[in-house]
């Protein structure tokens, strides 16, 4: 774990869970696997606090535990998983585009709570949706359930590992920490629930008081009646599936940029067909025959079979090599070359960074080196058609920033500099790692700046909150307009402007964090895919 | 009977010289000492040598070495007039430079061929240059190196670098302009086959604006080489500028010095302040 990663994790934990959880989380990330006693003694917090914090972390899948052979339990923080907190907005947004507001809220609730039962999710989401609807309308539980089932079918949500139902013999005491297992087949099986009901709207003040008694009575009855039918079956968000989706999105948009809309639709169809058949870390998808692809094209696209074949051939011959032909049966078997696609995306990201940082001529040299692998100084000048002095300057600048490295090839055994070849080369994997580290630090910087901006204006924010509270209470008690206006004027115009600025800045920094996270995703996927290759 | 003494004819030195020149004209490739001897057998070796030396110093004869021995060749009249004031060493150097043709020859190589010391060479070269018999051309390969060639010759392409160089300076503006023009040309056409400016097209490929494919083509179609043809097509970039470069940190020059609590920190970053006000 690099310093930048640890810093970013601690910032994220602090922002989402508070000081105490942050302290314990950071301690675990920094020192690795630790038992409970060590955590208590090293962090200086009370046992109770540590226990609660660990509960929170485990609930959110940020910390795992393991029973050691000697009989005590050790806790380990998952640094990578903590970094995913940065990507929560992207997950929620994707769910929204695929399954509308219902899907969005389901995913949001699951992310905020870590693990939940289906009935709890459905109830909560229905309540929230009812709030936003017009007066008199409510959200039916059935709709929410349907969306939930669809999310489970497409593997976006999955079941959490359970305590195995082992027959407990009286002699053997239950182990201090249960070992959770998950049955592969059941991971996406939705329990048969009969959820009937509608969302409840949270009424405004006076009505609520009348209802409170009723509601309390109902609750007590309800609780005593029976536990929810799916007690013990918890669901969580399947992050890998979302990552697969982002990766597919990236590939499709790259094809659309390089070729045209139709080809990108064909690639999207191929990827959709391979969603559940190919594991997310495979280098290529399963072969698909051209007939299958033709049948699975979306309804709106009426292209003839021959045109589809032509497109497939074009895609397979393209220098991009995203699609490859693996056989001739069934009209031609085609695969999507996932690893190559990720490599191309990562390379394009690197080139984009070099171009923005150093200029388009440096980008030309960079791409030249990527193509030709190893080149001498003179050859770089000749191929790129850049005058010698400038080319030298650019190469040295990139060398100092570690985008480019030198390979020495001696002509004589004594390695004399005048008799050695010096070849420039680009190593994509190490450049990707270097830039990933830079991304982490950038996001940490952005978060810190955002917190600083908010802190600077804390006084003003508190004041505006007080004024709003006064306004709300006065409106409720029916104050006159004149009095309301007086209160509003407590915030002067420049102060209002300052608040506007603050809001705008915070939003800008937030958006920027998400954008850097996109870069992080591309680079991380590429590094993972390269390391997993046999 | 009175003894007729045949007075040995003492040939006139001028006559000898004229006779030698005539012989040289007869044999334009050059005559050896033997030929002169055969022609004028009564001439003594010393006289012969004197005449030849005089002709050489006057610049009317060329001295060459061949495997048969020494050769004397008549020198062209215009050259003879040119070289009147020069001495043998200069003539030798001039000969060497002439032989180098339009590629020119480096001063060190002149030294090797003529076995003259460096100071002499430099003096001679300066002399010849001032007489406008040779000129120095800066090589594009190594800018400090000067090659010498005859004054009226056109330097070879390898020396001056061809179309991309003018006055030994890389014509970067020219390259830039051509770069843009080729790109615009290619953008308006779907597929095109080019050969003459392949190097410029390659730079467009390295810019990521153009891609190339090789297709099999029939022999005889325009632009095909060995049954293959290169096709170029303008393409748009694979992705939009990536997220990292949209934040100030991605392009920050002092990124490595920045940490919270230091002189340069996210809280007081001026780049961020500017960016937020944008």
DSSP string, B176-216: HHHHHHHHHHHHHSS-EE--TTHHHHHHHHHTTSEEEEEEE
C-alpha B47/C-alpha B51 separation (Å) is: 6
Residue A523: the pLDDT is: 93
Give the angle subtended at the CA of B180 by the CAs of B178 and B185, to the nearest 5°. 90
Roughly how many angstroms between the first and final C-alpha of chain B, as a whole number? 132
Chain B environment of A386 (Cβ under 8 Å) = 172
Residue B161: the pLDDT is: 56
C-alpha A472/C-alpha A484 separation (Å) is: 10
| Most confident region among A293-297, A516-520, B81-85, B217-221 by mean pLDDT | A516-520
Cβ-defined contact of A360 to B267 (cutoff 8 Å): no
pTM confidence score: 0.71
Kindly provide the residue ranges of all beta strands, DSSP E only, lying in A283-348, ordered along the sequence. 288-289, 323-327, 333-336
Residue A215: the pLDDT is: 45
**Residue A369, number of CB atoms within 10 A of its CB:** 24
Cβ-defined contact of B237 to A319 (cutoff 8 Å): no
C-alpha B18/C-alpha B51 separation (Å) is: 9
The share of chain B scoring above pLDDT 70, in percent, equals 70
Residue A332: the pLDDT is: 82
Residues of B with CB under 8 A from a CB of A: 164, 170, 172, 175, 179, 199-200, 202-203, 205-208, 211-213, 235-239, 241-247, 249-251, 255, 258, 260, 265-267, 269, 272, 276
Residue A345: pLDDT over 50: yes
Q: Are A26 and A13 in contact (CB under 8 A)?
A: yes
**Residue A281, number of CB atoms within 10 A of its CB:** 15
Name beta bridge partners: A288.
A334
Cβ-defined contact of B245 to A357 (cutoff 8 Å): yes
Residue A199: the pLDDT is: 63
Residue B185: pLDDT over 80: no
Cβ-defined contact of A452 to B172 (cutoff 8 Å): no
C-alpha B214/C-alpha A259 separation (Å) is: 18
Residue A80: pLDDT over 70: yes
Element (H, E) at A386: none
Residue A60: pLDDT over 80: yes
Residue A213: pLDDT over 60: no
Residue A436: the pLDDT is: 92
Q: Distance (Å) from the C-alpha of residue B254 to the closest C-alpha of chain A?
A: 12
Cβ-defined contact of A368 to B243 (cutoff 8 Å): no
Chain A environment of B242 (Cβ under 8 Å) = 348-349, 352-353, 518-519, 522
Residue B231 or residue A93, greater confidence: A93
Residue A532: the pLDDT is: 80
C-alpha A125/C-alpha A199 separation (Å) is: 8
Residue A204: pLDDT over 50: no
Neighbouring residues of B238: CB distance < 8 A, sequence distance ≥ 6? A254, A257, A258, A320, A344, A345, A348
Residue A525: the pLDDT is: 92
Residue A96: the pLDDT is: 92
The share of chain A scoring above pLDDT 90, in percent, equals 20
Cβ-defined contact of B250 to A360 (cutoff 8 Å): no
Cβ-defined contact of B245 to A508 (cutoff 8 Å): no
Taking residues A79-96, report their average pLDDT: 91
pLDDT digits (tens, 9 = 90+) for B65-75: 767 677 777 76
- Give the ipTM of the model, two decimals please: 0.74
Residue A414, token pair as written in the block? 């004594």
Residue B70: the pLDDT is: 75
Q: Distance (Å) from the C-alpha of residue B223 to the closest C-alpha of chain A?
A: 21
Residue A37 or residue A282, greater confidence: A37
C-alpha A207/C-alpha A212 separation (Å) is: 9
Q: What is the mean pLDDT of chain A?
A: 83
Cβ-defined contact of A449 to B272 (cutoff 8 Å): yes
Taking residues A460-466, report their average pLDDT: 86
Cα–Cα distances in angstroms (integers) from residue A278 to residues A158, A274, A530, in the given order: 17, 6, 17
Residue B182, token pair as written in the block? 């080729």
Residue B105, token pair as written in the block? 């020859």
pLDDT digits (tens, 9 = 90+) for B37-54: 777 777 777 877 887 788
Of A211-215, A323-327, B92-96, least confident by mean pLDDT is A211-215
The two counts, helices (H) then strands (E), for chain B are 12, 11
C-alpha A290/C-alpha A284 separation (Å) is: 17
Residue B136: the pLDDT is: 80
């Amino acid at each position: 774990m690099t310093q930048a990663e640890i810093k970013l994790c601690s910032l994220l934990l602090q922002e989402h869970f508070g000081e105490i959880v942050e302290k314990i989380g950071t301690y675990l990330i920094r020192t690795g696997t630790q038992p409970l006693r060590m955590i208590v003694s090293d962090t200086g917090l009370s046992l109770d606090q540590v226990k609660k914090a660990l509960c929170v972390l485990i609930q959110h899948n940020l910390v795992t535990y393991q029973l050691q052979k000697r009989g005590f339990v050790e806790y380990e923080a998952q640094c990578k998983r903590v970094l995913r907190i940065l990507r929560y907005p992207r997950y929620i947004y994707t769910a929204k585009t695929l399954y509308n507001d219902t899907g969005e809220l389901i995913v949001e609730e699951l992310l905020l709570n870590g693990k939940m039962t289906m009935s709890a999710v459905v109830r909560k989401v229905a309540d929230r949706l009812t709030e936003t609807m017009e007066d008199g309308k409510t959200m039916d539980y059935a709709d929410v359930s349907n969306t939930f089932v669809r999310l489970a079918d497409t593997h976006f949500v999955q079941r959490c590992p359970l305590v195995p139902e082992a027959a407990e013999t009286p002699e053997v005491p239950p182990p201090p920490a249960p070992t959770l297992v998950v049955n592969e087949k059941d991971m996406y099986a939705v329990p048969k629930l009969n959820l009937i009901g509608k969302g409840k709207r949270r009424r405004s003040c006076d009505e609520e008081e009348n209802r409170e008694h009723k509601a309390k009575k109902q609750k007590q009855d309800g609780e005593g009646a029976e536990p929810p039918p799916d007690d013990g079956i918890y669901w969580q968000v399947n992050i890998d599936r979302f990552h697969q989706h982002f990766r597919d999105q990236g590939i499709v948009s790259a094809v659309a940029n390089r070729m045209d809309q139709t080809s990108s639709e064909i690639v999207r169809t191929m990827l959709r067909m391979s969603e559940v058949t190919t594991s997310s870390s495979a280098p290529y998808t399963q072969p698909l025959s051209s007939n299958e692809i033709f049948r699975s094209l979306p309804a709106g696209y009426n292209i003839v079979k021959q045109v589809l074949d032509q497109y497939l051939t074009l895609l397979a011959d393209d220098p991009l090599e995203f699609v490859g032909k693996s056989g001739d049966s069934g009209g031609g078997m085609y695969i999507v070359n996932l690893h190559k696609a990720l490599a191309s995306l990562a390379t394009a990201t690197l080139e984009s960074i070099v171009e923005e940082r150093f200029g388009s001529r440096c980008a030309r040299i960079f791409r030249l080196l990527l193509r030709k692998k190893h080149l001498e100084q003179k050859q770089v000048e000749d191929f790129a058609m850049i005058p010698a002095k400038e080319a030298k300057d650019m190469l040295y600048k990139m060398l100092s920033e570690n985008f480019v490295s030198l390979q020495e090839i001696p002509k004589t055994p004594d390695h004399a500099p005048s008799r050695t070849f010096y070849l420039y080369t680009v190593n994509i994997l190490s450049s990707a790692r270097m830039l990933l580290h830079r991304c982490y630090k950038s996001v940490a910087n952005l978060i810190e700046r955002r917190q600083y901006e908010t802190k600077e204006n804390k006084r003003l924010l508190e004041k505006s909150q007080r004024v709003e509270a006064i306004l709300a209470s006065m409106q409720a008690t029916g104050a006159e307009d004149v009095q309301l206006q007086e209160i509003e004027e407590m915030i002067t115009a420049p102060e209002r402007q300052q608040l506007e600025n603050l809001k705008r800045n915070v939003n800008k920094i937030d958006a920027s964090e998400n954008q850097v996270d996109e870069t992080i995703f591309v680079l991380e996927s590429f590094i993972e895919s390269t390391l997993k290759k046999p | 009977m009175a003894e007729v003494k045949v007075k040995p004819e003492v040939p006139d030195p001028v006559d000898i010289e004229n006779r030698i020149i005539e012989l040289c004209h007869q044999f334009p490739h050059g005559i050896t000492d033997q030929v002169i001897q055969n022609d004028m057998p009564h001439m003594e070796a010393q006289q012969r040598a004197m005449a030849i030396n005089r002709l050489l110093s006057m610049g009317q004869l060329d001295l060459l070495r061949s495997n048969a021995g020494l050769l004397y060749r008549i020198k062209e009249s215009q050259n003879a007039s040119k070289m009147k004031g020069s001495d043998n060493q200069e003539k030798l150097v001039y000969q060497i430079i002439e032989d180098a043709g339009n590629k020119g020859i480096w001063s060190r190589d002149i030294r090797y061929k003529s076995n003259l010391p460096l100071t002499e060479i430099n003096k001679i070269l300066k002399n010849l240059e001032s007489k406008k018999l040779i000129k120095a051309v800066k090589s594009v390969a190594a800018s400090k190196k000067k090659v010498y060639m005859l004054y009226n010759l056109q330097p070879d392409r390898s020396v001056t670098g061809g179309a991309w160089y003018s006055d030994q300076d890389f014509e970067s503006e020219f390259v830039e302009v051509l770069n843009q023009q080729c790109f615009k040309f290619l953008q308006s056409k779907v597929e095109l086959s080019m050969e003459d400016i392949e190097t410029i097209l390659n730079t467009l490929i390295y810019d990521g604006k153009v891609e190339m494919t090789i297709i099999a083509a029939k022999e005889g179609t325009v632009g095909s080489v060995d049954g293959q043809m290169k096709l170029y097509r303008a393409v748009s970039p694979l992705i939009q500028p990536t997220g990292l470069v949209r934040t100030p940190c991605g392009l920050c020059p002092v990124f490595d010095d920045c940490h919270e609590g230091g002189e340069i920190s996210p809280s007081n970053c001026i780049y961020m302040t500017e960016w937020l006000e944008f």
